[in-house]
A and B are shown apart, each in its own frame.
Chain A
Amino acid sequence: GENVEQHPSTLSVQEGDSAVIKCTYSDSASNYFPWYKQELGKRPQLIIDIRSNVGEKKDQRIAVTLNKTAKHFSLHITETQPEDSAVYFCAAIPNTGNQFYFGTGTSLTVIP
Protein backbone atom coordinates (compact mmCIF):
# COMPACT_ATOMS: atom_id res chain seq x y z
CA GLY A 1 0.00 0.00 0.00
CA GLU A 2 0.84 3.69 -0.02
CA ASN A 3 3.32 5.10 2.50
CA VAL A 4 3.38 8.83 3.26
CA GLU A 5 6.21 10.44 5.18
CA GLN A 6 5.95 13.99 6.51
CA HIS A 7 8.69 16.33 7.77
CA PRO A 8 9.34 18.08 10.03
CA SER A 9 7.26 16.85 12.93
CA THR A 10 7.51 20.24 14.65
CA LEU A 11 8.22 23.66 13.20
CA SER A 12 8.53 27.06 14.87
CA VAL A 13 8.70 30.27 12.87
CA GLN A 14 8.57 33.97 13.64
CA GLU A 15 5.43 35.78 12.63
CA GLY A 16 5.80 37.04 9.07
CA ASP A 17 8.26 34.35 8.04
CA SER A 18 7.49 31.49 5.67
CA ALA A 19 6.87 27.87 6.65
CA VAL A 20 7.40 24.80 4.48
CA ILE A 21 6.19 21.28 5.21
CA LYS A 22 7.25 18.38 3.00
CA CYS A 23 5.70 15.01 2.27
CA THR A 24 6.84 12.06 0.20
CA TYR A 25 4.74 9.19 -1.07
CA SER A 26 5.55 5.78 -2.48
CA ASP A 27 2.68 4.77 -4.78
CA SER A 28 2.92 6.23 -8.28
CA ALA A 29 -0.83 5.57 -8.65
CA SER A 30 -1.60 8.29 -6.10
CA ASN A 31 -3.17 11.25 -7.86
CA TYR A 32 -4.85 13.40 -5.23
CA PHE A 33 -2.97 15.19 -2.44
CA PRO A 34 -4.93 17.18 0.15
CA TRP A 35 -3.63 19.13 3.12
CA TYR A 36 -5.59 19.35 6.37
CA LYS A 37 -5.22 21.82 9.22
CA GLN A 38 -6.19 20.86 12.75
CA GLU A 39 -6.35 23.63 15.32
CA LEU A 40 -6.09 22.70 18.97
CA GLY A 41 -9.22 20.88 20.12
CA LYS A 42 -10.85 21.04 16.71
CA ARG A 43 -11.44 18.70 13.81
CA PRO A 44 -9.11 18.52 10.79
CA GLN A 45 -10.27 20.68 7.90
CA LEU A 46 -9.15 20.79 4.30
CA ILE A 47 -7.15 23.88 3.46
CA ILE A 48 -5.81 23.11 -0.01
CA ASP A 49 -5.45 20.18 -2.36
CA ILE A 50 -3.70 19.36 -5.61
CA ARG A 51 -4.26 16.77 -8.29
CA SER A 52 -1.57 14.93 -10.19
CA ASN A 53 -2.16 16.84 -13.43
CA VAL A 54 -1.16 20.12 -11.74
CA GLY A 55 2.30 21.15 -10.51
CA GLU A 56 1.37 24.03 -8.24
CA LYS A 57 -1.72 25.57 -6.69
CA LYS A 58 -2.08 28.76 -4.67
CA ASP A 59 -4.75 30.15 -2.40
CA GLN A 60 -3.82 33.50 -0.89
CA ARG A 61 -0.96 32.84 1.55
CA ILE A 62 -0.84 29.08 1.08
CA ALA A 63 0.46 27.08 -1.85
CA VAL A 64 1.12 23.45 -2.61
CA THR A 65 3.66 22.09 -5.07
CA LEU A 66 3.84 18.59 -6.48
CA ASN A 67 6.77 16.79 -8.06
CA LYS A 68 5.41 13.55 -9.50
CA THR A 69 8.79 12.32 -10.68
CA ALA A 70 10.32 12.59 -7.23
CA LYS A 71 7.05 11.65 -5.52
CA HIS A 72 6.98 14.57 -3.15
CA PHE A 73 4.70 17.48 -2.43
CA SER A 74 5.02 20.47 -0.16
CA LEU A 75 2.87 23.01 1.65
CA HIS A 76 4.12 26.60 1.68
CA ILE A 77 2.70 29.24 4.01
CA THR A 78 3.92 32.79 3.49
CA GLU A 79 3.62 35.76 5.85
CA THR A 80 2.72 33.47 8.72
CA GLN A 81 0.34 34.68 11.41
CA PRO A 82 -0.35 33.35 14.93
CA GLU A 83 -3.64 31.84 13.72
CA ASP A 84 -1.64 29.58 11.40
CA SER A 85 -0.45 27.71 14.51
CA ALA A 86 -1.92 24.20 14.20
CA VAL A 87 -1.11 20.64 13.23
CA TYR A 88 -0.96 20.10 9.47
CA PHE A 89 -1.50 16.72 7.81
CA CYS A 90 -0.72 15.76 4.25
CA ALA A 91 -2.36 12.83 2.52
CA ALA A 92 -2.09 10.84 -0.69
CA ILE A 93 -4.94 9.02 -2.37
CA PRO A 94 -4.41 6.37 -5.04
CA ASN A 95 -6.66 6.51 -8.04
CA THR A 96 -7.80 2.95 -7.49
CA GLY A 97 -8.98 3.17 -3.90
CA ASN A 98 -11.04 4.95 -1.27
CA GLN A 99 -8.45 5.14 1.46
CA PHE A 100 -6.63 8.36 2.41
CA TYR A 101 -3.04 7.75 3.50
CA PHE A 102 -2.07 10.45 5.98
CA GLY A 103 1.31 11.69 7.06
CA THR A 104 2.11 11.80 10.76
CA GLY A 105 1.50 15.54 11.04
CA THR A 106 3.53 18.71 11.58
CA SER A 107 2.92 20.91 14.59
CA LEU A 108 3.47 24.48 13.45
CA THR A 109 3.96 27.26 15.99
CA VAL A 110 4.03 30.87 14.84
CA ILE A 111 5.75 33.06 17.41
CA PRO A 112 4.35 36.60 17.60
Chain B
Amino acid sequence: DVKVTQSSRYLVKRTGEKVFLECVQDMDHENMFWYRQDPGLGLRLIYFSYDVKMKEKGDIPEGYSVSREKKERFSLILESASTNQTSMYLCASRNRGFLAGESYNEQFFGPGTRLTVL
Protein backbone atom coordinates (compact mmCIF):
# COMPACT_ATOMS: atom_id res chain seq x y z
CA ASP B 1 0.00 0.00 0.00
CA VAL B 2 1.45 3.31 -1.12
CA LYS B 3 2.04 5.77 1.64
CA VAL B 4 2.59 9.47 1.05
CA THR B 5 3.11 11.53 4.17
CA GLN B 6 3.45 15.25 4.75
CA SER B 7 5.31 16.80 7.65
CA SER B 8 2.41 18.82 9.06
CA ARG B 9 -1.39 18.78 8.81
CA TYR B 10 -1.73 22.38 9.97
CA LEU B 11 0.82 25.18 9.91
CA VAL B 12 0.58 28.85 10.88
CA LYS B 13 3.33 31.23 9.78
CA ARG B 14 3.89 34.96 9.64
CA THR B 15 4.36 37.07 6.53
CA GLY B 16 7.99 37.05 5.42
CA GLU B 17 8.91 33.78 7.10
CA LYS B 18 10.63 31.02 5.16
CA VAL B 19 8.43 27.94 5.15
CA PHE B 20 9.37 24.33 4.44
CA LEU B 21 6.79 21.69 3.57
CA GLU B 22 8.07 18.15 3.45
CA CYS B 23 6.68 15.16 1.59
CA VAL B 24 7.87 11.57 1.81
CA GLN B 25 6.75 8.53 -0.19
CA ASP B 26 7.73 4.95 0.50
CA MET B 27 7.12 3.27 -2.87
CA ASP B 28 10.23 4.27 -4.82
CA HIS B 29 8.19 6.46 -7.18
CA GLU B 30 10.06 8.51 -9.74
CA ASN B 31 7.59 11.38 -10.04
CA MET B 32 6.55 13.69 -7.24
CA PHE B 33 4.27 16.72 -7.34
CA TRP B 34 3.23 19.72 -5.26
CA TYR B 35 -0.25 21.20 -5.70
CA ARG B 36 -2.19 23.88 -3.96
CA GLN B 37 -5.93 23.50 -3.59
CA ASP B 38 -8.22 26.51 -3.31
CA PRO B 39 -12.04 26.58 -3.45
CA GLY B 40 -13.30 26.89 -7.00
CA LEU B 41 -9.81 26.59 -8.48
CA GLY B 42 -9.26 22.87 -8.12
CA LEU B 43 -5.76 21.40 -7.95
CA ARG B 44 -3.11 23.67 -9.37
CA LEU B 45 0.38 22.34 -9.97
CA ILE B 46 3.21 24.32 -8.40
CA TYR B 47 6.22 22.16 -9.23
CA PHE B 48 6.97 18.57 -10.05
CA SER B 49 10.02 16.38 -10.09
CA TYR B 50 10.48 13.44 -12.42
CA ASP B 51 13.65 12.19 -10.74
CA VAL B 52 16.20 13.01 -8.06
CA LYS B 53 17.56 16.55 -8.42
CA MET B 54 15.24 17.17 -11.36
CA LYS B 55 12.41 19.68 -11.22
CA GLU B 56 10.02 21.42 -13.54
CA LYS B 57 7.75 24.38 -13.02
CA GLY B 58 4.05 23.79 -13.00
CA ASP B 59 1.33 26.34 -13.58
CA ILE B 60 1.91 28.58 -10.54
CA PRO B 61 5.59 28.42 -9.48
CA GLU B 62 5.97 32.08 -8.50
CA GLY B 63 6.95 32.50 -4.87
CA TYR B 64 7.89 28.82 -4.46
CA SER B 65 10.93 26.63 -4.90
CA VAL B 66 11.50 22.90 -4.45
CA SER B 67 14.21 20.47 -3.55
CA ARG B 68 14.59 16.77 -4.30
CA GLU B 69 17.87 15.47 -2.96
CA LYS B 70 16.58 11.94 -2.32
CA LYS B 71 14.10 9.91 -4.31
CA GLU B 72 11.62 9.52 -1.48
CA ARG B 73 11.54 13.17 -0.37
CA PHE B 74 10.24 16.27 -2.12
CA SER B 75 10.28 19.61 -0.33
CA LEU B 76 8.33 22.75 -1.12
CA ILE B 77 9.84 26.02 0.03
CA LEU B 78 8.13 29.36 0.41
CA GLU B 79 11.05 31.76 0.40
CA SER B 80 9.09 34.63 1.96
CA ALA B 81 5.56 33.66 2.88
CA SER B 82 2.74 35.98 1.93
CA THR B 83 -0.93 36.00 2.89
CA ASN B 84 -1.97 34.97 -0.62
CA GLN B 85 -0.10 31.70 -0.08
CA THR B 86 -2.62 30.67 2.57
CA SER B 87 -3.97 27.44 1.13
CA MET B 88 -4.14 23.67 1.30
CA TYR B 89 -0.97 22.09 -0.08
CA LEU B 90 -1.07 18.56 -1.43
CA CYS B 91 1.87 16.39 -2.33
CA ALA B 92 1.54 13.42 -4.69
CA SER B 93 3.74 10.71 -6.13
CA ARG B 94 3.49 8.46 -9.16
CA ASN B 95 5.38 5.56 -10.61
CA ARG B 96 5.65 6.42 -14.24
CA GLY B 97 5.12 3.40 -16.40
CA PHE B 98 4.52 2.58 -20.00
CA LEU B 99 2.02 0.27 -21.58
CA ALA B 100 2.23 -0.07 -25.33
CA GLY B 101 3.81 3.38 -25.52
CA GLU B 102 1.20 5.09 -23.36
CA SER B 103 1.93 6.78 -20.06
CA TYR B 104 -0.41 6.04 -17.21
CA ASN B 105 -0.32 5.21 -13.51
CA GLU B 106 -2.19 6.65 -10.63
CA GLN B 107 -1.06 9.62 -8.57
CA PHE B 108 -1.14 8.94 -4.84
CA PHE B 109 -1.80 11.95 -2.65
CA GLY B 110 -0.62 12.88 0.81
CA PRO B 111 -3.08 14.06 3.47
CA GLY B 112 -2.39 17.74 2.81
CA THR B 113 -0.99 20.64 4.82
CA ARG B 114 -3.31 23.50 5.66
CA LEU B 115 -1.03 26.55 5.69
CA THR B 116 -2.18 29.87 7.11
CA VAL B 117 0.02 32.92 6.64
CA LEU B 118 -0.80 35.80 8.97
Contacts and interface: CB of A to CB of B under 8 A. Distances in A.
B101 A44 contact: no
B102 A104 contact: no
Contacts of B109: 43-45
Contacts of A111: none
A92 to B, nearest CB: 12
Interface string A22-60: 000000000110100000001111100101110000000
A34 B106 CA distance: 8
Contacts of B111: 42-43
| Interface size range of chain A in the complex | 20 to 34
Contacts of A46: 106-107
Interface string A91-103: 0011111111011
Given A43-B111, A44-B90, A44-B109, A95 B103 contact: yes
Nearest to A52: B102
Contacts of A52: 102
A9 interface: yes
Interface residues of B, number: 25
Interface string A8-29: 0100000000000000000000
B41 A43 contact: no
Contacts of B40: 9, 104
Contacts of B44: 102
Contact of B42 (A49, A98, A103): A103
B64 interface: no
Interface string B39-83: 011111100101000001010000000000000000000000000
A111 to B, nearest CB: 21
Given A43-B110, A51-B102, A99 B42 contact: no
B43 A102 contact: yes
Contacts of B90: 43-44
Interface string B86-105: 00001000101000011110
Interface of B: 31, 33, 40-45, 48, 50, 56, 58, 90, 94, 96, 101-104, 106-107, 109-112
Interface of A: 6, 9, 31-32, 34, 42-46, 49, 51-53, 89, 93-100, 102-105
